[in-house]
Copies of this chain bind each other. A is one copy, B any other.
């Protein structure tokens, strides 16, 4: 039997834990979405796909999932230490646009490319700028509980004081003493009592466009706050899963834990999950290194590091071929291998659909099925799962060669298994090189006529006649052949 328990690695406990939702059958998950000031790139694709698979699998397991993924459209400064310019406002100034035009453009671009990657839409996609009131209320609560202080219209989180009652650094494994030693006071941060404190509210400089009135000053919320405020609003004070990239673990997620604990007196997240980073030819990816590849460049092949264009499903398959907690190294060779692998897998599923069942099975399919689900249940181990799917491809090939046989019942189970795992859980879809509509059209008509053959074989002439008549009515000419059928659309 398939191992039914689903384990995920909890970054907080640093071990794999069985996943048990707080309320059975209902899962609340929050994932940090993009800061929308630039075109979506590979670094965006990985968390989008990783947590899409989680979302899909949790639903496959029968849960009702409320998946919240935010859009950061305010407050994310150029460096994480609360100084520098707002990333979106800077882009807006450079392009002479209203900041919200920048936000809209890159949000639309993010949707365009994640749609192409077959990433399902989250249940709620809240914007930080749309939740200023909720963030103010959280600051008030943190302040009321004694963990914030105001200086010159800005409000900061008092990390040292928090650390006396709680543990700042528990997620990232950092010690406050080391942080104090390693950070230095940056320009313009003299307001802070300590270099490790972080902003909850920043007073806006006169030239700052994105600003709201508050009891403290005309200003804007600190970046870390939005996720705490919006996850609480839409998922409650305690919820199941919080995900994001490993680069967000510190300081962003550490600050989120501190904020929620300081405001609500308890931690909010049961399971913390982090996807690892992408390297390119072994190097860290970065704008300054010139190896920064956008999704559009990947899909069109228009980047000097790319030997060809890679389809969205190739990118998706490539990312799934590594476990989400490992780094992925990006190279043309690896992508081309992913493309071949994916095409082979999808082709095999087509072949499987055409296998004729026999009286009995000479193959053993349950081992493949169990091993695949065991891998998925083991912290979404997609590379192992995919290798098990390829074990199954060997079986499909031997069936297709006529070397082995499969019973009707086994065949149905196997087909359902491949469809469930490859399309529903892993979220691949068929890509048609050209005239996709035509190919799909032909496949749909074939499927109908196959059903007609099945109905005839079962002596269900009512159904078989209905299909034939309906198709004739629509303008199809159907010819029965010894080994199947032939059709033509006469219009």
Q: Which residues of A contact B (CB under 8 A)?
A: 66, 98, 100-101, 103-105, 108, 111, 118, 121-127, 129-133, 137, 212-213, 234, 349, 353, 412, 415-416, 419, 423-424, 429-430, 432-433, 435-438, 440-441, 443-445, 447-448, 451, 454, 462-463, 465-467, 469-475, 489-491
> A129 contacts which chain B residues (CB < 8 A)?
130
Quick one: given A66-B101, A100-B126, A448-B444, are A419 and B108 in contact (CB under 8 Å)? no
A123 contacts B137, C-beta separation under 8 Å: no
A226 CB → nearest B CB, Å: 12
A469 contacts B416, C-beta separation under 8 Å: yes
Quick one: given A213-B133, A444-B445, A467-B447, are A419 and B473 in contact (CB under 8 Å)? yes
> A465 contacts which chain B residues (CB < 8 A)?
412, 416
B104 contacts A474, C-beta separation under 8 Å: no
B429 contacts A475, C-beta separation under 8 Å: yes
> A444 contacts which chain B residues (CB < 8 A)?
441, 444-445, 448, 471, 474
A300 CB → nearest B CB, Å: 14
CA distance A131 to B100 in the complex (A): 13
Question: Can you list 24 contacts pairing A with B, beta carbon distance less than 8 Å?
Answer: A66-B98, A98-B124, A105-B123, A118-B490, A127-B127, A130-B130, A132-B133, A353-B470, A415-B466, A419-B472, A423-B472, A424-B472, A429-B491, A432-B437, A440-B475, A441-B444, A444-B444, A444-B445, A444-B474, A447-B448, A447-B471, A448-B448, A451-B463, A451-B466
Q: What residue of chain B has the Cβ atom nearest to residue A68's Cβ?
A: B100
> A490 contacts which chain B residues (CB < 8 A)?
118, 429
Which of A133, A234, A424 has most B Cβ within 10 Å? A133
CA distance A419 to B471 in the complex (A): 10
